[in-house]
Amino acid sequence: MAIAGGYIYRGKAIPELIGQYIFADFCNDGRFFHVPVNQLVNGKQAKIKELRLFDGERETSFLKIVGSERSDVRFGIDEAGEIYVTSKSDGKVRKLVPSL
């Protein structure tokens, strides 16, 4: 596992993620995770959940989206608190949005 640090989601587009710390494992299959920030307490195990990714209506992994077997993942946020993800594999910037 190789963890890419992320951000606390403070946007409005995905209400169920508000207050969740979003991060990724960019080593194996590009899986994304989230955990309530109030569970991140020293010495205690937080309940980490996988963030399911979709390409249209099909569930997929980030590595399949970028078309690579391995890729560094970088996170960013905008003024509205929405989260963006980029990859060295293809250089595109993608915004996390709710699934359809």
Number of CB atoms found within 10 A of residue 78's CB: 10
Tokens of 7: 């951000």
- 41 CB contacts (<8 Å, ≥6 apart)? none
Over the stretch 49-82, which tens digit does the pLDDT of each residue have? 888 888 888 888 888 888 777 777 889 999 999 9
Query: Residue 63 — φ and ψ, nearest 5°?
Result: -65, -35
CA–CA separation, 74 vs 18, rounded Å?
A: 20
Give this prediction's pTM. Answer: 0.82
Report which of 49, 65, 3 is spatially closest to residue 28, judged by C-alpha positions: 3
Q: Is residue 12 a part of any domain in this protein? A: yes
Q: Is residue 17 a part of any domain in this protein? A: yes
Q: Is residue 42 a part of any domain in this protein? A: yes
Number of domains in the chain: 1
Range of the domain at 18: 3-95
**Over residues 20-47, mean pLDDT:** 80
Q: Is residue 100 a part of any domain in this protein? A: no
Q: Which residue has better confidence, 30 or 52?
A: 52
Q: Is residue 91 a part of any domain in this protein? A: yes
